[in-house]
Structure formats: structure tokens, C-alpha cells
């Protein structure tokens, strides 16, 4: 079941959902609108290797905006820090953003119960398009879970994206290939 606006507010009151900064005008009927943070990143190498860390070049979005180019992957981050302690958060692009040819994630739209961080976005554009920090970029939808959770994301030893940062985080797939770790 997807939480309604009233349920999201109630869960925020109880402390099981946190959105910071919270703007009441961003609360929709059954979602919360999030905004593009100040930072973008691109990978520093043209070829990526899933078994090795790949450095990124991180830069602040200028006040005049930044033009996304087709055939380029950009990592970005939400302006909002979120915590979801009892629900599964899904991040989807806003339809107005999609109608500009912008995809905000390729596969990572679902969070886990216990995820407490900013959201890294995997942005691509179908046509050149200028974007700006603080623009609406996506919406969080919260799903109820059924059953007991043994280990939430915040306590999971294998969780790769727990370190809190308001800058884009590159893939850490290479950690799955370290000696003694199962590949996932």
C-alpha cells in the first residue's frame, strides 16, 4: 500500500519518515517532491570497470545552470536528506522532468527500510537540456512493508552507501568482488 499525504505527515510526526528540509507545499496526494542538489559528477574515465573503483569529477551546478548532453551519464544528488525507518521509499522522476527527456535513474529507484541519506541520481538526457540546482527533480513514494525486518539498511554490514554525503556517490560495485565477498 502507498502512503497518502495524511499518512506521510503522520509518519513524519512519529519520526519514522524524515525529509530535511521539509516544505509542506512539496507534499502531494501520495508522494513528496524532492529537488536537485547543488552537485553533479561525471566519471573521470571513458570506460568503467565493475571490479575497480572509478574516480569521478564533482562540480557545483552554476547559478546560470548546466546543460546536460545526450550520451553522457551524470551523477547528481537530491537537495533533501531523507530517513525512512519503517517504509520502502521509491524515487521516481517528475513527469515534467521526463517530458524534457531527462531520466533521473536507470535502475536505483528503490530504497530500503533504514536508508538514511541523500539520494544519488543517475541522470541522462535524450536532448541537450539546461538544469538548475533546487529545481524539482523527483518524487518519493512510500510503501508499507509486511512482516518483521531482521536487519534494516542502516545496520546491514554489507550496505555500501551508508556514509552520509550531500555529493554524488559513484558505483561501489567493485566491493562485491573483494576476496571473501559473495557477488550480488
Residues noted as catalytic: 122
CA 133 to chain centre: 15
Got the DSSP string for 40-60?
A: EEEESSSS--TTS---EEEEE
The number of CA neighbours under 13 Å toward the Cβ of 112 is 15
Instruction: Read off the DSSP letter of residue 12.
Output: H
Round to whole Å and give the CA distance between 35 and 119: 10
Round to whole Å and give the CA distance between 60 and 1: 38
Sign of the dihedral through C-alpha 35, 40, 42, 48:
negative
Amino acid at each position: 500500500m502507498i502512503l497518502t499525504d495524511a499518512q506521510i505527515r503522520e509518519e513524519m510526526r512519529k519520526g519514522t519518515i524524515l525529509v530535511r528540509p521539509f516544505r509542506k507545499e512539496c507534499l502531494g496526494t501520495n508522494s513528496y517532491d524532492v529537488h536537485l542538489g547543488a552537485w553533479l559528477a561525471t566519471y573521470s574515465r571513458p570506460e568503467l570497470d565493475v571490479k575497480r573503483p572509478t574516480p569521478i569529477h564533482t562540480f557545483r551546478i552554476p547559478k546560470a545552470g548546466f546543460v546536460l548532453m545526450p550520451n553522457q551519464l551524470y551523477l547528481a544528488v537530491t537537495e533533501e536528506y531523507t530517513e525512512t525507518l519503517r517504509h520502502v521509499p521509491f524515487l521516481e522522476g517528475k513527469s515534467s522532468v521526463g517530458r524534457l527527456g531527462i531520466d533521473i535513474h536507470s535502475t536505483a529507484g528503490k530504497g530500503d527500510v533504514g536508508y538514511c541519506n541523500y539520494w544519488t541520481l543517475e541522470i541522462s538526457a535524450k536532448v541537450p537540456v539546461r538544469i538548475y540546482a533546487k529545481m524539482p527533480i523527483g518524487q518519493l513514494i512510500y510503501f508499507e512493508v509486511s512482516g518483521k525486518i531482521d536487519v534494516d539498511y542502516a545496520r546491514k554490514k554489507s550496505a555500501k552507501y551508508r556514509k552520509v554525503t550531500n555529493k554524488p556517490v559513484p558505483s561501489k560495485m567493485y566491493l562485491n568482488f573483494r576476496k571473501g565477498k559473495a557477488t550480488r
